[in-house]
Amino acid sequence: MNKLNKINGFDGVKGPVLTIVMDGVGLAPNTVSNAVATAYTPTLDMLMANYPMVSLKAHGTAVGLPSDDDMGNSEVGHNALGAGQVFAQGAKLVSNSIESGKMFASSTWCELVANAKSNNSTLHFLGLFSDGNVHSHIDHLKAMVKQAKVEGINRVRIHILIDGRDVGETSALDYILPFEEFMSELRSPDFDVCIASGGGRMKVTMDRYEADWSMVELGWKTHVLGEGRQFASAEEAVKAYREEYHVIDQDLPPFVIAKDGEAVGTVNDGDSVIFFNFRGDRSIEISKAFDTPAGEFDKFDRVRYPKVVYAGMLEYDGDLHIPSKFLVNPPEITNTMSEYLANTGVRQFAMSETQKFGHVTYFWNGNKSGKFSEELETYVEIPSDVVPFEQRPWMKCAEITDRLIEELEKGEYRYYRVNFPNGDMVGHTGSLAATLCSMEALDLQLARILAVVDKLGGVVLITADHGNADEMYEMDKKTAQPKAGKDGKFKAKTSHTLNPVPCIIYDNTDAKNAYKVKADNGSFGLSNVAATMVNLMGYEAPDMWDESIIEF
């Protein structure tokens, strides 16, 4: 059993030890694009000016992604925060599996292909349609479509979830048009391939944490049943919806591609279906809809439940084994912070609202759903509002703080972790005004928490998992200023950023005299947080973890 050893000569901070994750709050130059810097945040300003702070890398290879051109995300960010180590993540695992040929030699791929061939049926691909590399990558889809033709599949249908969140907010046609050319080059009398349905990722299919099952129901009706407004092509649908609804890509309504009034790609008995997202949080619910037998599914009326072979790109939940079939083994994340603390007998408390609850539990614990100790760990979920986040940018930060203060004052736990989703979820809307409000609401809560921590003689490490609110407009790399369009207006940016994130240690206790924060040389990443937290509790970090940012 992995346990932590005490530090000789340092018993740790006497009061509570707390990690606050300000989701989506990065460090960037102070421009009009930076909602973090320009919002009225006296508490955060005070912390950055008066307390030890280092910057943490939160993207690319520092969180296990293939290259430093890849934006970080909440999943890999919380994996690194909770594991204290960097593991190769979804995108890299999938790319390696495709390049090596392992995916196409896997028993799951072989079963999917054999099923479609033996039934002379359709192989369906469903997933996020972009190269954002956060949930999926279009190159993975292309590789599988090519392989399907090589292996003698006769009919392929693509169901596209349009992005506009991890990529440009109105970039859908930049992916659709080249993909149409890609398909036309592959198409032959023996290989029928086309886009069959679609919709914006925040409208259909990609709900998470069971916040809004109606999104999944709408996706089921669109992709499986072929119900919905019909168009001759995805290009036509996108252009029509933009003209009619004036929304960005992630909010486009669902559409069905039809010929002579009939949907071209419903899912039927005998078909094979691949959900090609590699990230887990927005893949679990649609996987449950496909994988749960008739009579056992109660989230919505599926109307028709086709008998298919269904597989995910990865196993999205390793404990619950969702889905039952998958193409690439997920990273095996071991020796996490929560496991070590539980084995050492340290009581832990984790909390967020629905939108990020899984991040301080499932992802923090190495993609594991359960607790390491029912006795020592408590998880609290504050239900999120099911409304557009720009309409309530404060989200549930006050309610989270209310409960956190209540628990801190009870004094039943040694370690607390909490996620405030505001900077990320509101940042994704592209609304600068709303994101400024979200940051100001969060700042008010930080002030409340710090006052209680001081009273209790505790310490807080305040950080983030990646950037988002720090760049609300598309930026010009040469000038480091927002890009202006032909109309002179700045173009909203809804994706994460490549910027580092802050890591501030707030400690007004006598314990701060026993350690010092190391110099910020640009080498620290999110994986350095776990060792820092256990050091502050008076424990040595395990050898396999990345180093602490404090030293004695």
Residue positions annotated with a catalytic role: 74
CB atoms within 10 A of CB 522: 10
CA 443, CA 401: separation in Å to the nearest integer?
11
Q: Which strands form 459-463's sheet, in the order they lie side by side?
A: 53-56, 501-507, 459-463, 17-22, 415-420, 348-353, 377-382
> What region does 384 belong to: left with phi over 0, alpha with psi -120 to 50, or beta?
beta
The burial of 246, by beta-carbon neighbours within 10 Å (0-12 exposed, 13-18 middle, 19 or more buried), is given as: exposed
With 0-12 / 13-18 / 19 or more C-beta atoms within 10 angstroms meaning exposed / middle / buried, residue 269 is exposed
Cβ-based neighbour number of residue 69 at 10 Å: 10
Distance between first and last Cα of the chain: 27
Q: Return the structure tokens found at 338.
A: 């929560």
The span from the CA of 548 to the CA of 552, in Å, is 11
Q: What are phi and psi of 233, to 5 degrees?
A: -155, 160
Residue 255: C-alpha distances to residues 4, 198, 286, 315, 439 (Å): 54, 5, 18, 28, 35
| Rounded distance between C-alpha atoms, residue 141 and residue 170, angstroms | 21
Residue corresponding to tokens 């008995």: 269
The residue type at 439: M
What is 298-333 written as a DSSP string?
-SS--S-----EEEEEE-SBTTTTBSS-EEEPPP--
Task: Name the E strands within 176-283.
Answer: 192-200, 230-231, 255-259, 262-263, 272-275
Write the single-letter amino acid at 416: Y
Burial 402-415 (b: 16+ CB within 10 A, else e): ebbbebbeeeebbb
Do the bridges between strand 255-259 and strand 262-263 make them parallel or antiparallel, or are there none, so unpaired?
antiparallel
